[in-house]
Homo-oligomer: A and B are copies of this chain.
Amino acid sequence: MSIITLTTDFGQKDGFSGTLKGVIWKICPRAEIADISHEITPQNILEGALILWKSYRYFPERSIHLAVVDPGVGTQRRPIVIRTGHYYFVGPDNGIFTPVLEDAEQSNWKVEICHLKNVGFFLPNVSSTFHGRDIFASVAAHLANGVPLTDLGPFIDDPIRILLPKPERTDYGWRIHVVAVDLFGNLQTDLPVEWIKDRGNAIVKFRRHEVKGVIDTYGAGTPGKMIALADSEGRLEVAAVNGSAAQVTSAKVGDIIEVIE
């Protein structure tokens, strides 16, 4: 079984994601392909990085994760493959794999990064505007066919990284960040709830809102009430019971939330 996932900012109207699947199946007919997202905000590398990061570990070992949010397409930015943990990652060298590299460092996984210089694994004609099709989908399919990294190009050790938001220690607790706002209007942050000393009594302050205690579930609160809880990745999340915290607070990505322990 050969699984390839797709994370892009291509949208779902123009047929680009379908074209990736055609390219993949032409080279590796047995590949199973899953869309993670094609709705990344155009050219928002951080958003793409975080959405891929939340999903990739749930796939079977040896899955190949293609990620194409690529404002530098057609320039000198390098096309790369990363092998780490149980997975492969294919895409532009622009920092979209930074959270994956951090996972590897925290877990002491071996990391191999290959600069895709061997054009023999690209489509015959490489456009300057659609490397997702002409380079990345093609290389991902060859990987799925068992082509070893060493055939694809030289190894490198200086991948581009982006700055990921991190919780900052304060005198009284944590200064943390809204890293994403999901469809339900829940505010996702960068603070692992297990870092909070006394969850039951912690106070989460955001604009004029103040929430006491980190609870366990959306259900435990009056509808509309602001709550703080652990999200599905164990990070602190601010939500409104059966409502949208984003709407209530006008929060946006990058906003600061204070946690008082």
| Interface set of A (CB-CB < 8 Å, partner B) | 1, 3, 5, 7, 9-19, 21-23, 25-26, 29-30, 32-40, 42-43, 51-52, 54-56, 58-60, 63, 71-76, 127-130, 133-134, 180, 182-184, 216-220, 229-232, 234, 237, 242
Which residues of B sit under 8 angstroms from A18, Cβ to Cβ?
5, 7, 34-37, 55
Contact of A14 among B15, B74, B182 (CB under 8 A): B182
Asked whether, in the complex, the Cβ of A39 is within 8 Å of the Cβ of B60, the reply is: no
CB closest residue in chain B, given A130: B232
For A5, the chain B residues whose CB sits under 8 A away are 18, 22
- Knowing A22-B60, A58-B133, A59-B26, the reply to whether A75 touches B10 (Cβ < 8 A) is no
Q: Are A10 and B63 in contact, CB atoms less than 8 angstroms apart?
A: no
The closest CB in chain B to the CB of A231 belongs to B129
Tell whether, in the assembled complex, residue A12 and residue B34 are in contact, meaning their CB atoms are under 8 Å apart.
no
Q: Which residue of B lies closest to A31 (CB)?
A: B32
Contact partners of A183 in chain B: CB under 8 A: 9-11, 13-14, 42
Nearest residue (CB) in B for A25 is B60
| Sampled A-B contacts (19; CB under 8 Å) | A11-B39, A11-B182, A12-B12, A12-B35, A12-B37, A14-B182, A14-B183, A18-B34, A18-B37, A22-B55, A43-B242, A73-B218, A74-B217, A75-B217, A128-B218, A129-B229, A129-B232, A130-B231, A134-B232
